[in-house]
Amino acid sequence: MTGLKWLVKGAKKGDLLIFYYSGHGSQVADVSGDDIDGKDETICPHDFATAGMIKDDHLRSIFSGIAAGVNLEVILDSCHSGTGTRERAALDAMPEDQKVTIRYVEPPLDYQFFLDEDPTIPVRGFLRGTAGEKEAVVVPGLNHALWAACEDNQTAGEGPADGAMRGFFSYCFCKILRRAGTNITRRRLDSLVAGCLRQTFGAGQVPQLEGTKTILNEKVFT
């Protein structure tokens, strides 16, 4: 949290800021009542067991304070899942060199109780189904570009790629970006990353890009 505050402090028009997180994520019940789906998405820093998870509310609070004209790219390669243990158990029979890890952490028991008891919260999907055609999500007024490894009702995977364990989204994002360079719009990059996930990993997790119409049609990192 200190690092995030440092990132945005003093940023001025024309500055480029990048926040990249690759790791575990989760969902907890929204006790503040500001999310219409009843859930807060979280990321899990190394000390989350003692210091707590970082909610989307926390990120929104920090990022909302950046000055106009600052270009902020937020890249999250993590799960937004509430039932990761169910899918994880189904993968135990896979060969060791083909196993996929779900980037999901169980929420605290007090939050998990509300998630389990709420019948309106849909079952999470993991590498399931086909992504099909997709569109970036236009969010009027959003002051940054959000790159998410999957939709908020899905989990994100990691597994063997090029001789190492890699996050599927991070692998595809970097692969496409190296090939295309920064002379590519965010919308086009998002589409190519989604195709890479399907073709390289057979992944049903659907990456999600969010921003204003202007942000989505601008070149990445500009």
CB contact at 8 A, 19 and 4: yes
In a domain, 75, yes or no: yes
- Over 50: is that where the pLDDT of 29 sits? yes
In a domain, 52, yes or no: yes
Residue with the bigger pLDDT between 31 and 221: it is: 221
In a domain, 76, yes or no: yes
| CA torsion, ordered 143, 176, 222, 25, to nearest 10 deg | 30
How much of the chain, in percent, has pLDDT values that exceed 70?
70
pLDDT of residue 9: 93
In a domain, 222, yes or no: no
CATH code of the domain covering residue 109 = 3.40.50.1460
In a domain, 55, yes or no: yes
In a domain, 113, yes or no: yes
Residue with the bigger pLDDT between 52 and 34: it is: 52
- Over 50: is that where the pLDDT of 111 sits? no
pLDDT digits 0-9 by tens, 112-159: 433 344 433 333 333 333 344 567 888 888 899 999 998 877 888 888
In a domain, 202, yes or no: yes
| CA torsion, ordered 54, 152, 60, 210, to nearest 10 deg | 140
* Amino acid at site 69: G
pLDDT of residue 129: 36
Q: What does the angle CA 172 – CA 137 – CA 171 come to, to the nearest 5 degrees?
A: 10
> What is the pLDDT of the chain when averaged over all its residues?
76
90: domain range? 2-217
Residue with the bigger pLDDT between 170 and 127: it is: 170
In a domain, 39, yes or no: yes
Report how far Cα 55 is from the mean position of its chain's Cα atoms.
12
Domain count, the chain: 1
Active-site amino acid positions: 24, 79
The Cβ of residue 13 has, within 10 Å, a number of other Cβ atoms equal to: 9
pLDDT digits 0-9 by tens, 46-82: 888 888 888 888 888 899 889 999 999 999 998 863 2
